[in-house]
Structure 1
Amino acid sequence: MKRILLSVGLAVWLSGCAHHDDVRPSSDGMHTIMLFADSRDAGSKEALRQAKHYCKQTEQVAYVVNLDIIYNSDTPESTYVTQNGLANAVDAMGIAMWIFGKNSVDDAGAALTLSGGIADGALGKPYDVRLNFKCR
């Protein structure tokens, strides 16, 4: 049963991976990506990944013109970073318990996994990422 749930979850996760859905092409060659992220690092990596993929379609290379990442939330950024780290830790611990635990341990792991996911979802994605790039 665990393998089935894990396989279904993995399939859903992989099907949600878009290649460059956030690219806004322009006629003057200065393309823009705007997206929301749950961390500065994840946001910049995702934007760069999409820019590279977009340019690769025409056998070109993406050149970053500028990258702006703005934290946009009422919660102080340091508090958000701490809460997000805790939610991710609870989620990871729950997954490990769910997969490797037996009897009530795997039930507790499932509950932790759901709790971590809910907490992460409640925190949202407060980073506004804007990347301007050109393909050459």
Structure 2
Amino acid sequence: MKRILLSVGLAVWLSGCAHHDDVRPSSDGVHNIMLFSDSRDAGSKEALKQARHYCKQADMVAYVVNLDIIYNSDTPESTYITQKGVANAVEAAGMAMWIFGRNSVDDAGAAMTIGGGIADGALGNPYDVRLNFKCG
């Protein structure tokens, strides 16, 4: 059991070390990051985090040249945001029922949690985040 817990803990810790996988270095000094995200805020934060880490390796600071976030889906953005909120609410309510419920209530909560997670995953990552930056 200890080995399993140690392995899971190590995997979680190492997954937090994904530093700047999306950075595309450039010879002219203006580097690019392109990634997909499920929200504008999360996408810009992730891109900036990767830029900072990339520049920090050379003891420099990241300076944003340009940041573009484009919503890219056939579903209207307002509908996507509503659906995302509903999926997250169902998942959270299900989690509470799963943890605090008894008998069939916790079973329903488990189903809601899983269903909300599936719905959230099915919505995808419609935000195309493009960050250009320099290290200085």
Count of matched residue positions in the alignment of Structure 1 and Structure 2: 129
- Report the equivalent of 2:112: 112
Shift of 1:96: 2.4
Give the secondary-structure state (helix, strand or coil) at the position aligned to 1:29. coil
- Report the equivalent of 1:62: 62
Give the secondary-structure state (helix, strand or coil) at the position aligned to 1:26. coil
- Report the equivalent of 1:79: 79
5+ residue gaps, structure 1, are: none
Give the secondary-structure state (helix, strand or coil) at the position aligned to 1:28. coil
- Cα 1:133–1:71 shift into 2, 3 Å: same
Shift of 1:46: 0.8
Amino acid at match of 1:66: N
Shift of 1:104: 2.5
Shift of 1:88: 1.1
- Report the equivalent of 1:22: 22
- Report the equivalent of 2:36: 36
- Report the equivalent of 1:134: 134
- Cα 1:94–1:13 shift into 2, 3 Å: farther
Q: Superposition RMSD on alpha carbons, in Å? A: 2.1
Between 84-93 and 69-78, report the one with greater CA deviation. 84-93
- Cα 1:41–1:31 shift into 2, 3 Å: same
Give me the TM-score of the superposition, normalised by structure 1: 0.85
Shift of 1:19: 1.5
- Report the equivalent of 1:47: 47
- Cα 1:14–1:36 shift into 2, 3 Å: farther
